[in-house]
Chains A and B, each alone.
Chain A
């Protein structure tokens, strides 16, 4: 084969092998590192795998937030109107975290059915409701897709 052609062939082969390797790795890494979102009612219904990192979100139930007196441990309840999920978190809550407002939590469900959050997010806008939360609440038949007009039973 002509040396120039040979060189080109090697380059092409190299690119093909390398890029398929890269795509394979990417697919693998994506699969390992995506966090699926679950609304509280699905969690309460036991549809969620335990010990897998997931995302959950809902409104923080008024009166449910309690802090430990000697540490930064905090617990609260999130709800989508259909079901409640207890959450524990150790650390500083974001500025816009408040009872009756929307929050998104990242973490795992433990054996007792408690969501152990490693991260709590509340967006920086008082009228903002995370789209996942809004949608979850619409599914539950709440008229408003926000935490403001929500009716909390119990």
Chain B
């Protein structure tokens, strides 16, 4: 009964969304206020109905209703209840429902927080959100219905959630990632609405900026969570594999990063408008592509597409509609919104343009590497795979240049900056980071690594130039504290996010360079020494969990003779599917992680073990958290909360330029 209620709610939601797509838009085109005002209530209805559908599915999972096909293939009565709930988004159908739930949430948020928007703009934005929801609901109801029953012969037991997904990381990773993906639908909706209305002014950029920042923050955390999960759950000790699934989430992040910077230029200087619109369209299209790539099964084989032609065709048509439709609209309308106040070669605009170009090129290389095997397979060129060397070949140098430029951006003035000033501000950070870069690898390790020197240099170059920028901005204040308080919240946000990039960069490079990995045969009481650490296997014992049995190794670890807590990796066998899983043991630290994973049993009670020493690996995710925190802080900036609608010419009025940026 409850699943049918969910089904009913979904169908009802479809009609509500149909109305949401058409009515407010019609109202906006014809100037009918009443129709425009329907947007808010329809958005609320959409949200409520999807929440009901979602709760129905949760109910089916919690109560082990295996007559629902989706439940029976993704759950099991032995699962702990929190995994039963997270199993709701463990498969294709449920994750689509989660996606739509997020979309409904963002739509409602737009309806609630955009009261300061002109009514027609708000109506158009809500209609575009409705259109996206319409596509997803149609897809779900006709091709991937989560409430489909297996009747009359319902199975007694479910076939279990994939053990890899039975983990806290996977409970939170998909929702956060989807918040990011779906969040970009908001900027997309703003962009399309602006194109339709023909008003692409800085007010428009100001409205969509907080949404873009918010979505970007979520996406950043989502990707970081995925990487963290892969690190401790897959048992290989890696945190990024350039796997198509990871790339799928990274593509929108790259363009999204370009977008939030381009939006800054559009808001502050009224430039790059068409470009910003394009980026908003691409970011969302790539979010869609990412969702479908991961969930439709095309990645394992193009033939999965052929096995299920309905889904495949629907996805292609929807993507085509979104991309093609919005690009057509762009082609028709973009000339209207052209802008061209000039800027000189050395200016913040140029640097941000550089940022955009570099990020876009990076995105294209990653996109090509991700899709190339699919294209080759579809065209019958043979089965191929594109390895990490391809991605690293482009990604590392491009990001290196980007990070070098990143230090200049905040210091440069809008419109024009003199080279002399830049040199005057930056020679100290340059020298300091040179020294740090050269000295740190020497102190850190016996073997000098020039690569480490280069990355420490770039990392400290970003950090020291940020410090130089802050010092420059507060130079006229009575004290540093007073000066810092005078700077805007979004300036602080920028500093934190940029520092986050530096931290992630240091984490990524130093882990890769100084990481030590040993695959060894470990027998009881035979010590293994890595750096200052000694690992001794004490025993391997049998332990039982709620739905698995496991072999657990107890390993005593000492650091230069001093004891570190014992490490206890496990090899689990899940009862329902008979799946075997490696549970990694971690000893976490700010400067280093120790990582032990069990391989397989060898003769004489010895085990194959994978032991890693991973310096600075936490910095990767710490940096990501800083970036996301920065993005959130930027949203809280008070200029977004101004009640009155700023006029299109607001950019040129000096009062509007924040003190942190004015020189």
Query: Chain A interface (Cβ within 8 Å of chain B)?
Result: 4, 7, 15, 18-19, 22, 25-26, 29-30, 32-37, 53, 55, 67, 69-72, 90-93, 95-96, 124-126, 131-132, 135
Contacts and interface: CB of A to CB of B under 8 A. Distances in A.
Interface in B380-434: 382-387, 389-390, 393-394
B270 interface: no
B520 A72 contact: yes
Interface of B: 162-164, 235, 300-301, 303, 340, 342, 357, 361, 364-365, 368-369, 372-373, 382-387, 389-390, 393-394, 519-521, 571, 577-582, 597, 599-600, 602-603, 608-610
A52 to B, nearest CB: 13
Given A95-B582, A126-B578, 14 more contacts: A15-B357, A18-B357, A19-B361, A22-B361, A22-B365, A30-B390, A70-B521, A72-B519, A72-B520, A72-B521, A92-B600, A92-B608, A93-B600, A124-B162
B300 A29 contact: no
18 contacts: A15-B357, A26-B394, A29-B390, A29-B393, A30-B368, A30-B386, A33-B386, A33-B389, A35-B384, A36-B384, A37-B382, A37-B383, A90-B519, A92-B610, A93-B600, A96-B580, A126-B579, A131-B301
A26 B600 CA distance: 40
B94 to A, nearest CB: 18
Nearest to A28: B393
Nearest to A70: B521
A26 B384 CA distance: 16
Contact of A35 (B163, B387, B521, B578): B387
Most buried by B among A29, A53, A95: A95
Contacts of B599: 72, 92-93
B600 A125 contact: no
Given A37-B382, A69-B603, A124-B162, A95 B581 contact: yes
B366 to A, nearest CB: 11
B521 A71 contact: yes
Nearest to B353: A11
B88 to A, nearest CB: 20
B420 to A, nearest CB: 22
Nearest to B383: A37
Contacts of B578: 126
Contact of A36 (B301, B364, B382, B597): B382
A124 B164 CA distance: 8
Contacts of B577: 126
Nearest to A130: B300
> Which 8 A/B pairs are nearest by Cβ-Cβ distance?
A92-B599, A37-B383, A131-B301, A33-B390, A95-B580, A34-B384, A91-B519, A132-B383
